Every structure is written in structure tokens, then in C-alpha cells.
Amino acid sequence: MKHTIRGKYMLLISGLLGFMILVICLANSLYLERYYIYERTKDMVETYEEIDTILQSGNLLEEGTSLRVMRLLEKANISALIGSTEQDVAFQFGYENQLEQQMRDLAYGKGGETAKLVKRTDSYVILRQNDEKLQTNYILFFGFFSDGCICFLRSSLPSIRESVMISTRFAWLIGLVVILISIVVVSLISRRISGPIVRLSQIADRMAHLDFSVRYEEEREDEIGLLGTSMNYMAGELERRIGELRRANAQLRMDIEEKVQIDEMRKEFISNVSHELKTPIALIQGYAEGLLEGVGDDPESTAYYCEVIVDEAVKMNQLVRKLLTLNQIESGLNSVEPVDFDLIPVINGVLHSFNLLLQQKEIAVEFDAEKKLPVRADEFMLEEVVRNYISNAINHIGGERRIAIYTEQDTDHVKVSVYNTGQPIPGSEMDNIWQKFYKVDKARTRAYGGSGIGLSIVKAVMDSHGGSCGVCNMDDGVCFWFELRRLELPAVIPAFGLSVSRGISNE
């Protein structure tokens, strides 16, 4: 409590009031008696001067003059004895015998030991006397008026010390009451002052914990209201700036992660390319060195060596071509040029290019070529997708050695599925087959010259078209599919031969 503004206000004001009351009590004890005597002395001098003024314009024997003097003495609470040279006593007010006796005693020097000089002038003398019999203090005034009359004034002093003690006790009592009332009032005022400051402190604490939704809602026109408005503005600015910083950090984190992924992909790409090219280069080098050293002297051995070299060179050429195609698609260099066409003739054209290979491997193909499948896409890229799917189905054929191509379409999309009998793909490999250079059965892939890039090209083409692709295992085989947005073609559809006249080479 003492460390809060409210507590400090209460302690400060209470201490200040206590100090002021202490000063008042000390002043009462030390100076009240002197001050009271000073005031009574001053009153007696003023009374003396006013009587002297009255006597200059009249005589005490006159009723009007004496009445004016009596009123003046009554008002000042002063007893008086005024005499002249012509008569013993001209005027007396209050305590007649006592005043006369006291004046005679002073005149003859009696009681002087109990009298103390207060003030002396050429016209008068003021004494303070303590009457031990009556236990009373007096202020005695002895002087002469302008007309030569003797003036003796007396004013009794009450018990000054007792009055001072009473006044001091009263001051302490009033002071304690004032302190208690002040504590209550200061508590209420300080609560009103410190309350908004406490709320501002709480707002600052929440802002320190990055909660910038809090606002100071009181409407004030003083400094606290100005501070609240400034804190609201600061909270809004901090929320906006930190939001921008977070977004920048998130973007930076994404950029760093992307850079790391690119570096990893680059390392993986170099490693995979090196691995894929290592075997054909080694074979070409080995067989070429054999030819140079004359290992195959007969024409048949020489022809065999040359066939191996050519075959491996063709595989490297296909690998490099596919890598270039994939790189162009992924980097955006090979931009999509969509046209409206029928996909059925494209599929027929690809099957026609594989016709010889299908016959050699005794593969049966099922495909309904009488349908129409209008799409809007890059025709050359989509033919590459169909070619990779059919090539993949031929290379992984098994069981009944059958390939089936199905087409579906609804209001918005068309879907093409390529099914082949054979071994299913393990579930753990489903998501990996779309990666570059990934091979489920590396020995089998090597046997037919696969590079593991064909499905990556399919995925890149579908992403560039905003389509989708996937794979699923069937009871006796595997089915690959891709899906594109549907297009309503006009009544005239390009002839079958148009889509196969471009002479796509076999893989």
C-alpha cells in the first residue's frame, strides 16, 4: 500500500496535517501567552488614547462625556480610575476600593516586587502584576492625559497557562478529527486519481505480453485521458507493425525452408542424375575400350558391342530429354498454351505409336474410341501425360497382360484412368512414386530402361493445368488416373488423323 500512489498521497497529506497540528500546538504552548498579553496591552493603549481624545472635547463631570468613557471601558473590559489636580477622584469604573488601593500601593512602592515592566513611554507605564492573594494576573496602565489628569487602567488576565493547555488539547482533538476526515477524503480522491493509472498499468502489462486488443475506454480530457489515447494509438500501431513483422517472418521462414528444400532437391537431383548416368556411361566406356583393344574380332561381337553402346546412349538421351521437359514445366519456361480439343484422338494416337510394342509383349488393350472427351489444355503436354501412363502400364504389366483405358465426364470435369494387370504398389510407396528418380523396383526399372521421371512429369503437367492425378490399387492390378476441367465442344470435332499427324516418337 505504501508503495502505491494512493498510499503515498495518504501518507503525505496525513503527515503534512500532523506536522501543521504539531506546529500549532507548540505555538500555543510557547507564544500564545505572550501574544495574548501583547493584544491586551495594545487594547489598553488604544483605550487610553481614545479617552484622551474624548477628554479633549469634554469634561468627565459631564454626563455625556462620562457615558462615552464608560461604554468604551465596558467594551474593552477594562477597569479605570481617572483623577485630576482639582479633585481626588474625577472618574472611576469597576472595583472602586480595589482600584484605588492598588494605585496607592504602586504610588508608594508597595507590590513592586510582583510587578514586571511591560512597556514605558514618556506618557505612560505598563506593568504586569501577579496578585498572590487572589491568584490573578493584571495588566496595569499608569499615565497622564493631555490635560494633566491621572489615568490608572487595569485589565485582569485569566489563567493564561490553563487557557494554553485547553487550547492545545482542543487543537490536538480537532487535528485528529481533521486527519481522519482527510484520510477518508484523500483515499476517495486518490482512488479516483490512481484508478485510471492502475488500469493503464494493466493495459501496459497485457501489451507487454503481446495482447494488443485491449484498449483504454474512459473518456477524459485531462493528462490521463491523453495518456490513454496515446496508449490506444500505440497498441494499434504495435499490433499492425508486429502483424507485418510476423508476416514478414513467416514469409522469411517459408523462403528459408524453400531454399533448404531447393538445396536438398539440387543435391538429390545431382545425386540421382549421377547415379542414373553412371551405369550407361560405364557400359559405354567399357564396351568402347573393348572395341579399341580388339576384344571382339568377329563381326558378331563387334555388332553386339556397338548395339550395347547405342542402346545405352539412347537411354541417356531419353533421360536428358525428360529432365529438360520436367525442368521446363516446373520452372515455367514451358508455358501452358491451352487449346480446345477432343482427348479421345490423342489417346488413340499414343496407342497407335505403341502398337508394335503391344504386339511384341502380347498385351490386350481395351479402349472405347467412339466417345468424345472435350477438354481445354495444352495438347502436347497432355499427350506426354497419356504417353507416360501407357508406357508405365506396359513396363509393369503382369497377370492377364491386359490394359484398360476408361474415360468419365460430369458437368464440370473429365477423368481418364489407365489400368494394367500386375503387382500392386505397396501402400507406403503411394506418395513417393511422383518424386523424381523414385523407383519402387529398381532392378525391374533398370531392365526396361526406366528413369523414374515419367510420373514426375505427369504431376508437374497436372499442377500447371490446375488438375489432379493419382493412383489406386485394384484387385488384380493398378490404376493411374488424371482429371481436368470439362469443355463443351462445338458439333464439328477435329478428325482422328489430325491428332496423330504430329509424329510423336516412341520411347
* pLDDT tens column, 56-71: 887 777 788 888 888 8
Mean pLDDT: which of 19-33, 288-302, 357-371 is highest? Answer: 357-371
Least confident range from 2-16, 382-396, 480-494: namely 480-494
The Cα 162–Cα 173 span in angstroms is 17
Q: Name the nearest CA neighbour of 10 among 184, 252, 146, 210.
A: 184
Q: For residue 94, is it left (φ>0), alpha (ψ between -120 and 50) or beta? A: left
**How many residues in total does the chain contain?**
507
Instruction: Judge if pTM exceeds 0.85.
Output: no
Tell me which DSSP letter residue 81 carries. E
Q: Are strands 374-377 and 339-342 parallel, antiparallel or unpaired?
A: antiparallel
Q: Are strands 402-409 and 364-367 parallel, antiparallel or unpaired?
A: parallel
Give mean pLDDT, residues 338-342: 87
- All residues at 6 or more sequence positions from 210 whose CB lies less than 8 Å from its CB, including other chains: 242
Least confident range from 30-34, 91-95, 404-408, 454-458: namely 91-95
Q: What confidence category does residue 234 fall into, taking pLDDT thresholds of 50, 70 and 90?
A: confident
Q: Name the nearest CA neighbour of 154 among 133, 142, 139.
A: 139
Give mean pLDDT, residues 211-237: 79
- Can you give the pLDDT at residue 113? 63
Least confident range from 161-175, 350-364, 401-415: namely 161-175
Amino acid identity at 308: V
The Cα 49–Cα 41 span in angstroms is 12
Task: Tabulate helix, strand, coil % of the chain (nearest 5).
Answer: 60, 15, 25
Contact 482, 469 (CB under 8 A): yes
Distances from the Cα of 349 to the Cαs of 60, 251, 374, 404, 419, in angstroms? 156, 46, 16, 16, 18
Contact 295, 301 (CB under 8 A): yes
Least confident range from 96-110, 194-208, 339-353: namely 96-110
pLDDT in tens, 259-294: 888 777 677 667 666 656 666 787 777 778 777 777
Cell numbers linked to 360: 511384341
The Cα 244–Cα 233 span in angstroms is 17
Q: What is the DSSP string of 272-304?
A: HHHHHHHHHHHHHHHHHHHHHTTS--SHHHHHH
Better-scored residue on pLDDT, 58 or 4: 58
pLDDT in tens, 42-56: 888 999 999 888 888
Better-scored residue on pLDDT, 369 or 494: 369
Q: What confidence category does residue 445 fall into, taking pLDDT thresholds of 50, 70 and 90?
A: very low
The Cα 34–Cα 14 span in angstroms is 30
The Cα 377–Cα 372 span in angstroms is 15
- Can you give the pLDDT at residue 501? 31
Q: What confidence category does residue 80 fall into, taking pLDDT thresholds of 50, 70 and 90?
A: confident
- Can you give the pLDDT at residue 403? 92
